[in-house]
Amino acid sequence: MEKEAGGEGELRLSGYHFGEVTVGEERHTKDLIVFQGRVHAPWIRREGHRLTVEDLAALLEERPEVIVVGTGAWGRLVVASAVVRSLSERGIETLVLDTARAVEAYNERTERGERVAAGLHLTC
C-alpha cells in the first residue's frame, strides 16, 4: 500500500522503537519505505532478512540521491556489499545503519534538502 503524505514536503520520522515508527503523524508497525512524501508499507523483501537490489526496484525508478537502510534494532537485516556497490554505480549513496540511527540520518538528510529515501526494518 502506498500512501501520499498530507501537506507539503517530506515526512519526518520519529518515535522509533522495536516494531514501531511514526511517519509524519501516522504510526507504522510493518517494515516500510519512505520517499518524497509517500509511504510504501508493508515493505516485503524477497529474501526476508537479506536486502537485494530487486527489493528497491520501484524506489530506484524515483532516482533518490541517498537511500538510508534501517537494519533493525539489532542490525539483523543484511545488506551485502554488492547491493551498496550496485547503488553506488547508479549514483546513489547508501547508508546502512541500525534503524534508530537510520531514522536520525533520514531526518538530517531531508532537512538538508537531499532526495533521500528510507527503507526501514522495524524489528530485529
Higher pLDDT, 6 or 13: 13
Mean pLDDT calculated for residue range 29-54? 96
Write down the pLDDT at residue 2. Answer: 53
Q: What is the dihedral of CA 23, 29, 33, 38, to 10 degrees?
A: -40
**16, 84, 91, 107 from 63: Cα distances, Å:** 26, 15, 9, 18
Distance between CA atoms of residues 87 and 67, nearest Å: 9
- Average pLDDT of the chain is 93
* Degrees to nearest 5, angle at CA 111 with 117 and 123: 45
pLDDT per position as a tens digit, 70-108: 999 999 999 999 999 999 999 999 999 999 999 999 999
H or E element that contains 87: helix 81-89
Write down the pLDDT at residue 9. Answer: 62
Contact by Cβ (8 Å): 101, 58: no
Residues 6+ apart with CB under 8 A from 63: 115
Q: Could you give all domains of the chain from N- to C-terminal order, each with its CATH number?
A: 2-120 (3.40.1230.10)
45: phi > 0 → left, psi -120 to 50 → alpha, else beta; which? beta
Mean pLDDT calculated for residue range 30-47? 95
